[in-house]
């Protein structure tokens, strides 16, 4: 099952491994906007993204935890695109004809599937394979922390509920549009919520991950360049700061008071700038819905209020105008229409994360190994007779993994005695452990296998 995060990014599916190293979707799947089993490199702890690409190209590397990026790429050279698409289609037809004329089995010494001249060593081939897709880390300028700002959860009012028009007028001014630029090649689109009158804004971490700058657009069309206070990919929460005063800010309610059947509504920016400020309504369909993605668990609210790409980071609001959740994903299927199954992060989960991010810029206690890994390209695995596992593309020098001898080019085949062939496998094991625990990694290197005991470190110490 996949989940679809609702910033405007391309949709990738995960299921059983496909022949190209991608994934074949199950019949009913949750669609997310990151392929959780791409063959591209990913930090096990603090992942980096590839620059955005169209869905016809490589999917991006994994990131802890959830989503594959897409760009809303504006290109005025439409005639050139049409020509290139036509040429690509012709190439695909020719290639497909050739595929069905022969075997796809990788045979050492064969011409079609050979890695090519100069690739006698699998490490050289895999390193060059990853270099084909440029990667970018989040380089948004940092904002100073402020221990004096916290998220307050208000009591549910005893007065009669508001009507939809009253809620929209009351809440819409505190909802912002977020445009996150990536490498000069495009941007991500999402939603955010003003937390304080002096410009703190809460949104989803997956909207801004791998980006270099963020523009916040207020309801009155004023634009501000935002700075990053902190981001926590495991909870999918980020806090931004803009230089503004006297802003209309949201009132946050206590999500623990919700019951199934309570009416709610969502306000956001689905599908881009043209539909900013869209409101949809529904009910709470389920509470404490456990969702697992990339090996990490999330406890979410489920709603049938319409949520679409671009809604990520926007508010889920009760009938008193209080924000009781932040929307972040929905259920989709490639083969059948699935509507009315969306999810939001409850405020009881959001508050401690936001408070810690504003206080110190990070969430302490996240266990990290200190390695960046990627799936082994299927062709290389067969040609070089490599074991199933995760290829190490880099190791943080201040990590215990580096001190214990793990190096770039190693292949991690097991963690605590359990085979690991994907990021989900590794994260599922790490999820059960804490900072200071020892993780046993089975490592393949140049035909030999050995075991290394690695002490997990606090992510803030490695990447802070």
**Is the residue at 49 inside a domain?**
no
- CATH code, 193: 2.40.10.120
Average of pLDDT values for 326-355?
Answer: 86
pTM value > 0.75: no
Output the pLDDT for position 116.
Answer: 62
Is residue 9 assigned to a domain?
Answer: no
Query: Do 384 and 408 belong together in one domain?
Result: yes
Summarised one tens digit per residue, pLDDT across range 136-194 is 678 899 999 999 999 999 999 999 999 999 999 999 999 999 999 987 668 889 999 99
Domain count across the chain: 2
Asked if residue 91 belongs to a domain, the reply is no
| pLDDT for the residue numbered 372 | 86
- Assigned domain for 292 exists: yes
Please give the pLDDT value at position 136. 62
Q: Give the Cα separation of 63 and 409 in Å (integer).
A: 20
Query: Would you say residue 330 lies in a domain?
Result: yes
Q: Kindly state whether residues 354 and 208 are assigned to the same domain.
A: yes
Q: Which of 360, 382, 414 is the last residue of a domain?
A: 360
Q: Are residues 329 and 372 in the same domain?
A: no
Select from 316, 335, 360 the last residue of a domain.
360
- Domain-embedded: residue 414: yes
Say how many Å lie between the first and final Cα of the chain, rounded.
33
Evaluate whether 188 touches 179 at the Cβ level (below 8 Å): yes
- Domain shared by 331 and 400, yes or no: no
Whether 52 shows a pLDDT value over 90: the answer reads no
Lowest mean pLDDT among 39-53, 117-131, 203-217, 352-366: 39-53
Shared domain check, 390 and 353: no
Range of the domain at 426: 367-463
Is a pLDDT exceeding 70 seen at residue 344? yes
Q: Cα(431)–Cα(416) distance, rounded to whole angstroms? A: 13
- Could you tell me if 162 and 283 lie in one domain? yes
Question: Does 189 lie in the same domain as 313?
Answer: yes
306 and 219, same domain (yes or no): yes
**In this structure, is residue 261 part of a structural domain?**
yes
Q: Which of 334, 360, 386 is the last residue of a domain?
A: 360
Q: Which helix (H) or strand (E) element contains residue 403?
A: helix 400-403
The reported pLDDT for the residue numbered 293 is 62
Cα separation of 383 and 110, whole Å? 10
Are residues 178 and 294 part of one domain? yes
- Say which residue, 427 or 38, is predicted with more confidence: 427
Rounded to the nearest integer, the mean pLDDT of the chain is 77
In-domain check, residue 118:
no
pLDDT tens digits, 62-116:
232 223 333 333 333 344 444 444 444 444 443 433 333 332 333 333 333 456 6
CA angle (290, 292, 293) in 5-degree steps:
150
Regarding whether 333 and 209 lie in a shared domain, the answer is: yes
Instruction: Find the CATH number of the domain harbouring 398.
Output: 2.30.42.10
Q: Do residues 386 and 335 both lie within one domain?
A: no
Residues acting as catalytic residues: 206, 236, 312
Predicted pLDDT at 375: 87
The total of other beta-carbon atoms located within 10 Å of residue 15's CB is 17
**pLDDT tops 50 at residue 128:** yes
The verdict on 212 and 295 lying in the same domain is yes
């Amino acid at each position: 099952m996949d989940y679809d995060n609702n910033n405007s990014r391309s949709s990738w599916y995960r299921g059983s491994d496909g022949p190209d190293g991608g994934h074949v979707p199950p019949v009913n799947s949750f669609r997310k906007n990151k392929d959780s089993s791409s063959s591209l490199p990913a930090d096990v702890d603090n992942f980096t993204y590839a620059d955005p690409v169209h869905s016809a190209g490589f999917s991006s590397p994994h990131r802890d935890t959830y989503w594959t990026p897409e760009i809303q790429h504006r290109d005025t050279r439409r005639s050139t695109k049409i020509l290139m698409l036509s040429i690509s289609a012709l190439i695909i037809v020719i290639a497909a004809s050739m595929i069905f004329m022969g075997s796809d089995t990788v045979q050492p010494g064969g011409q079609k599937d050979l890695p090519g001249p100069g690739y006698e060593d699998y490490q050289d081939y895999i390193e060059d394979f990853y270099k084909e897709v440029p990667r970018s880390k989040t380089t948004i300028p940092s904002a100073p922390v402020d221990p004096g700002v916290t998220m307050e959860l208000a009591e549910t009012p005893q007065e009669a509920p508001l009507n939809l028009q009253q809620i929209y007028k009351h809440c819409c001014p505190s909802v912002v549009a977020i445009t996150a630029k990536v490498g000069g090649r495009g941007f991500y689109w999402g939603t955010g919520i003003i937390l304080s009158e002096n410009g703190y804004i809460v949104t989803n971490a997956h909207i801004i991950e791998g980006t270099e700058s963020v523009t916040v657009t207020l309801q009155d069309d004023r634009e501000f360049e935002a700075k990053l206070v902190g981001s926590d990919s495991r909870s999918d929460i980020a806090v931004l700061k803009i230089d503004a005063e006297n802003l209309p800010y949201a009132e946050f309610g206590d999500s623990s008071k919700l019951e199934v059947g309570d009416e709610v509504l969502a306000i956001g920016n689905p599908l881009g700038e043209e539909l900013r400020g869209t409101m949809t309504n529904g009910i709470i369909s389920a509470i404490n819905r456990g969702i697992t993605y990339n090996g990490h668990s999330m406890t979410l609210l489920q709603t049938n209020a319409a949520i679409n790409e671009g809604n990520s980071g926007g508010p889920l609001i009760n009938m008193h105008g209080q924000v009781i959740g932040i929307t972040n994903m929905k259920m989709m299927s490639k083969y059948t229409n699935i509507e009315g199954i969306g999810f939001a992060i409850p405020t009881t989960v959001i508050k401690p994360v936001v408070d810690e991010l504003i206080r110190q810029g990070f969430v302490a206690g996240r266990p990290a190994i200190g390695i960046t890994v990627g799936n082994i390209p299927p062709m290389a695995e067969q040609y070089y007779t490599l074991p199933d596992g995760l290829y190490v593309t880099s190791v943080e020098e201040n990590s215990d993994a580096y001190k214990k001898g793990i190096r770039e080019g190693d292949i991690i085949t097991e963690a605590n005695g359990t085979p690991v062939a994907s990021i989900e496998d590794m994260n599922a094991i790490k999820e059960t452990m804490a900072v200071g625990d020892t993780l046993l990694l089975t490592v393949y290197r140049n035909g030999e296998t050995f075991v290394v005991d690695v002490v997990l470190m606090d992510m803030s110490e490695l990447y802070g």
